Every structure is written in structure tokens, then in C-alpha cells.
Amino acid sequence: MTSNSEADKSVIQLAHGGGGRMMNRLIQDVFAEAFRHPDYDNANDAALLPWQTPDMVMTTDSFVVNPLFFPGGDIGTLAVNGTVNDLAMRAARPRYLSVGFIIEEGCPVETVRRVAQSMRAAADTADVVVVTGDTKVVERGHGHGLYVNTAGVGCIEHDLRVGPRHVRPGDAIVLSGDIGRHGIAVLASREELALETPIKSDCAPLAADVLALVRAGLELHCLRDLTRGGLASGLVELSEASGLAFVLQEEAIAVDGVVAAACEVLGLSPLYVANEGRFVVFLPADQAGRAIELLAQRNPGVQPSIIGEVVDRREAVVIARSALGMERVIDMLSGEQLPRIC
């Protein structure tokens, strides 16, 4: 006889796609195991191709968001910006995208057209070109309307190399804006929640923001967009990869009032809700002010802030300190609060 929990471990669960512990374990046990290669650092969202000058970076993401259209975007804008942002998080300039559609039989052609058109608009905004594509059709009941994959290639046109191993004690952690909008926008749309004010996804391309920081001469140490698993999972991953402790000031993390209220009602913590246009940057504390100034100039209405600092506690841990000085440890969730968010 097999107990339930044993059976569960041997099959894929929704939580395996959620950006938390279970997904990390699947990637380590199955994919890293199969694809490990001594010359390539393929544990990142985007891989460095040490090949030509300038250095190239390659990345991919599939998108299975439900519903396909939501306030502030659709699966197409998500598919372009998601991949553009993975390149941006290596401080690369995104150049080329490929797109693969898996369409369910019965999907309206008009839906496919709308998605393709919004991909083109998003690509133009992000200054990338969709150069090649592929279409597959699966029988009714074997898809969910439309899945989209994008892969992207970018180039690093400067000497800065960013990543978790460049994080240093004393670094400031700057968050580019308020969190939780994308997840709540998709969820509200899916569940037809009536929010006080409709929340729009924060879905946006981040490369121009990052490259503006680079051009300003700031010594960026590490960048991370806050998608599946939200701010908390992203920071826990970076803390573990760098071996350092991050101490956050909870009150410095901005959450829109409507997003906070929706999270409250739904029993979610905004720290774990997905974003598609927010990132954290680690850099020397004395440069944080300049970074905030530049980001705020570029994105009127979005308030970046210093949310914490890196400390050497001989332990890889993320700690949130409340306004009253209480500390609690932030961990990754096992799975995700919200499946099919991207």
C-alpha cells in the first residue's frame, strides 16, 4: 500500500509550478540533474552565452495565465515582458524573441489575433523584434485556449556582471514600486471579484529602467524581478544563493490600499503575490538614493524605496522587521497561493 503523501511526491502537482520550494526541488532534482554542464551557469533565469562580443544572454518562459485577458494586459504582453525582463535582470539589452503558440482546438481565431497584436505592441514598446515562431494545435480539452512560449536573446553592452554572488554585506535593497498588483488583477478577473477600484496588472518591460541605472554608472550587484512567488520567494532564493542575510523594513514595502484589502479578504500575503513589472536591485548603500531618483523620474506615479539591507549573519535568511522592531523570518511557500498567474 502507498500512502497519499508518498503517491503525491511521484506525480506533478500544481505547486510544482508555483515558484516555491516544490518547484525549486523539481528543478534541482530533475532538470539541473539532466542539463548540468560545466561551462554554463544554467541555474539562472537567463543564461550567459560566453561566445561573442558583446556577451549574449538567452532565456525562455512559457505562459499559461488564466484568464487570457485581464486588466492591464493579456497573455501576449505577459509573454513579451516576462522574457524581456528575464534578460533585463542580467543587465542585458533584449534584442530578439521567438514565440511558440500551443492553441486549443475551438479557440476563436480572433483571440489568437488579439494576442499576437498585443505581443507586437509590447515588443515595439520594449524595443525587441519577434523574429521567428511556431504554432501547434491540440484537441479540445487538451489545452486551455492558448499557451504561449517566448525565448529571448539579448546582449550585455557594458562590463557590469550582476548576480547573487555579487551581493555584498552593506548593500541596500531597493524595490522599484508597490507589490501585488499583477496577482490580484488576474485573480480578481478570474474569480470576478468586485474590487472597490479595479486593480491593473503592473505588467511592464524593465530593461530600459535597468539600463538607465547602468548608464548612470551605478554599481548594480544583483537584480531580480518578482514574478511567481512574489517578493518573498525572490528574496529567499537570492539570500540562499548568496549565503547572506537580508533584513527588511516591513513598512517600507509599498502595497496599494485596494491590493492590501483584496489580500486581506482572500487570506493572501502581498509578499507572495506575483508582480510582472517590479524588481529589486542590490547596490552599495550610498548609491541607493540615486537609483530611487532615477527610477521615480522614469515611472511617474510609481514609488521606489529602500526596503532593507544585506547583513552578514553567517546564515542565509530573510528577516522582516516591523515598525515596532519585531522580527520574523520570511520563508518560501511550498507551492504558490495562486496557480496560473503567468
> Could you say which residues in the range 80-119 bind its own copies, by CB under 8 A?
95-96, 98-110, 112-113, 116-117, 119
Q: Which stretch binds its own copies (CB under 8 A): 38-46, 166-174, 265-273, 293-301?
A: 38-46
**Residue from the set 134, 312, 327, 331 that interacts with its own copies by CB under 8 A:** 134
- Cell output for 62: 512559457
Provide, rounded to whole angstroms, the least separation between the CB of residue 290 and its own copies: 32
Q: Which of 21, 71, 125, 133 binds its own copies (CB under 8 A)?
A: 133
Q: Is 325 near its own copies (CB under 8 A)?
A: no
311 SS3 class:
strand
Nearest approach, Cβ of 52 to its own copies (angstroms)? 5
Q: How far apart are CA 280 and CA 226, in angstroms?
A: 8
Question: Residue 105 to residues 47, 71, 74, 135: CA-CA distances in angstroms?
Answer: 34, 26, 20, 12
Handedness of CA 9, 15, 18, 21 (dihedral sign): negative
Rg (CA), the chain: 20
* Distance of closest approach, residue 80 Cβ to its own copies, in angstroms: 11
13 in contact with its own copies (CB under 8 A): yes
Residue pair 248/179 in contact (Cβ under 8 Å)? The answer is: no
Site for its own copies in 147-206 (CB under 8 A): 147, 149, 151, 153
Report helix, strand or coil for 81.
helix
Smaller CB separation from its own copies, 17 or 205? 17
Query: In the bound complex, what is the minimum distance in angstroms from residue 303's beta carbon to its own copies?
Result: 31
Binding of its own copies by 40 (CB under 8 A): yes
| Residue 21 CA: distances (Å) to CA of 254, 272, 309 | 25, 13, 24
From the CB of 114, what's the least distance to its own copies, in Å?
10
